[in-house]
Amino acid sequence: MFIEVLKSKIHRVKITQAELHYVGSISIDEDLMDAANIVENEKVQIVNINNGERLETYVIKGERGSGQICLNGPAARKAQVGDVIIVISYCSIDAAEAKAHKPVLIFPSENNKLS
C-alpha cells in the first residue's frame, strides 16, 4: 500500500509578486527550490498564512538568488505581495518505507534567502 506523505516544505516565505495575466503557476527562487528538493513542474500546495487560502499549482523556476516568490495566473487572486505562505510538496511511498522517511524542511529568512 502506498500513502501520501510530506516530501518538502518551504516554511514562511513572502510573496514578492502576483502576476494575474500569466500562465498559472508559482515562480520560486531556484536556490529555494534546490534547498527544498522541489523540481520544476512539481505539484505543490500553497497555504497563505495571512488569509487562510489554500491552492494547488505547479512550480516554475524563479531567478536564482532573487528571493522571488510569485503567484501567477488565477492564483494571483489568492494572495497579495507581502503575504506569508508555506509551500508544501508531497510524495507517494510505501507505507512501510514511510516510517523512516524524512521530509526536507527549509526555513528561509525574512527576505526569502537561505541562511
The CATH number of residue 78's host domain is 2.40.40.20
State pLDDT tens for residues 24-63: 799 999 999 999 999 999 999 999 999 999 999 999 999 9
pTM for the model = 0.95
Domains contained in the chain, number:
1
Residue 99 lies in a domain: yes
pLDDT (0 to 100) of residue 115: 81
Residue 29 lies in a domain: yes
Q: Is 22 a catalytic residue?
A: no
State pLDDT tens for residues 7-17: 999 999 999 99
Determine which one of 58, 90, 92, 109 is catalytic.
58
Distance between CA 90 and CA 18 in Å, rounded?
24
Residue 114 lies in a domain: no
Q: Is 90 a catalytic residue?
A: no
State pLDDT tens for residues 57-105: 999 999 999 999 999 999 999 999 999 999 999 999 999 999 999 999 9
Can you give the residue range of the structural domain that contains 92? 2-106
